Amino acid sequence: MGTTQLESVPEPKYWHLKTVIGEALDSDFAVGEILPNERELAARFGVARATLRQALEQLELEGRLQRRRGVGTTVAPPRVGVDVSTTQHTWPGVAEETWQSMDASSAVAPPAVARLLDIEPDEQVHVVRRLRVTQEQPVAAELLYIPSGSVPELNVTDTPTGPARARVVLRELQRLALDGQDRAVELGSARADDAKELDRLPGAPVLVVTTRYLSEGRTAAVSVATYRADTCRLTFGDSGDLVMAS
Amino acid sequence: MGTTQLESVPEPKYWHLKTVIGEALDSDFAVGEILPNERELAARFGVARATLRQALEQLELEGRLQRRRGVGTTVAPPRVGVDVSTTQHTWPGVAEETWQSMDASSAVAPPAVARLLDIEPDEQVHVVRRLRVTQEQPVAAELLYIPSGSVPELNVTDTPTGPARARVVLRELQRLALDGQDRAVELGSARADDAKELDRLPGAPVLVVTTRYLSEGRTAAVSVATYRADTCRLTFGDSGDLVMAS
DNA sequence: AAGTGGTCTAGACCACTGC
DNA sequence: CAGTGGTCTAGACCACTTA
Q: What is the pLDDT of residues B104-138, one digit of tens each?
A: 999 999 999 999 999 999 999 999 999 999 888 89
| B5-75 against B80-235: fold identical | no
| Contact state of A189 with B233 under an 8 Å Cβ cutoff | no
* SS3 (DSSP) at B132: strand
- The Cα of B85 is separated from the nearest Cα of chain A by a number of Å equal to 9
Nearest to B100 by CA among B147, B136, B126, B148: B136
Under 8 Å between Cβ of B129 and B145: no
Q: Kindly list the residues from chain A whose CB atom is less than 8 angstroms away from the CB atom of residue B181.
A: 237
Instruction: Give the pLDDT confidence score for residue B88 in this predicted structure.
Output: 56
Best A117, A186, A230, A241 member to test B by mutation, with max B CBs in 10 Å, is: A186
Q: Kindly list the residues from chain B whose CB atom is less than 8 angstroms away from the CB atom of residue A203.
A: 15, 18, 58
Q: Answer for B149: CB within 7 Å of strand D.
A: no
Which among A58, A189, A237 is the nearest to B61, CB-wise?
Answer: A189
Which among A116, A187, A246 is the nearest to B207, CB-wise?
Answer: A187
- E-strand ranges in chain A read 65-68, 72-75, 80-83, 99-108, 124-134, 137-147, 180-189, 205-215, 218-228, 232-236
- The Cα of A42 is separated from the nearest Cα of chain B by a number of Å equal to 19
Superfamily for domain range A80-235 = Chorismate lyase-like (3.40.1410.10)
| Contact state of B184 with A235 under an 8 Å Cβ cutoff | yes
Q: What is the pLDDT of residues B32-65, one digit of tens each?
A: 999 999 999 999 999 999 999 999 999 999 999 9
Instruction: Give the pLDDT confidence score for residue B238 in this predicted structure.
Output: 55
Instruction: Give the pLDDT confidence score for residue B93 in this predicted structure.
Output: 73
d(CA A10, CA B122): 31
Percent of chain B with pLDDT strictly greater than 70? 88
pLDDT at B85 over 90: no
Confidence of residue B6 (pLDDT cuts 50, 70, 90): very low
| Contact state of B112 with A243 under an 8 Å Cβ cutoff | yes
8-state DSSP, A60: H
Q: A87-96, A103-112, B94-103, B195-204: lowest mean pLDDT where? A: A87-96
Instruction: Give the pLDDT confidence score for residue B241 in this predicted structure.
Output: 44
8-state DSSP, A148: G
Instruction: Give the pLDDT confidence score for residue A10 in this predicted structure.
Output: 74
Instruction: Give the pLDDT confidence score for residue B121 in this predicted structure.
Output: 93
Q: Hey, CA dihedral for B71, B73, B77, B79, is it positive or negative?
A: positive
Question: What is the distance in angstroms measured between the alpha-carbon CA of A26 and the sugar C1' of C1?
Answer: 36
d(CA A110, CA B235): 21
Q: What CATH topology corresponds to A5-75?
A: Arc Repressor Mutant, subunit A (1.10.10)
Nearest to B183 by CA among A204, A188, A238, A10: A238
Domain locations along chain B:
5-75, 80-235
Could you tell me the pTM of the whole model? 0.90
Q: Which residue has the higher pLDDT, B241 or A183?
A: A183
Q: Answer for B71: CB within 7 Å of strand D.
A: yes
pLDDT at B158 over 70: no
Instruction: Give the pLDDT confidence score for residue B103 in this predicted structure.
Output: 92
d(CA A215, CA A59): 42
Which among A62, A180, A189 is the nearest to B188, CB-wise?
Answer: A62
Confidence of residue B150 (pLDDT cuts 50, 70, 90): confident
Q: Kindly list the residues from chain A whose CB atom is less than 8 angstroms away from the CB atom of residue B63.
A: 186-187
Instruction: Give the pLDDT confidence score for residue B87 in this predicted structure.
Output: 61
Q: What is the pLDDT of residues B166-194, one digit of tens each?
A: 988 998 999 998 888 889 999 999 999 99
Q: Kindly list the residues from chain A whose CB atom is less than 8 angstroms away from the CB atom of residue B78.
A: none
Nucleotide with C1' nearest the B48 CA: C9
Q: Which nucleotides of D are covered by protein (CB under 7 A)?
A: 2-12, 14-18
Which residue ranges in chain A fall short of pLDDT 50? 1-8, 239-242, 245-246
| Contact state of A189 with B246 under an 8 Å Cβ cutoff | yes
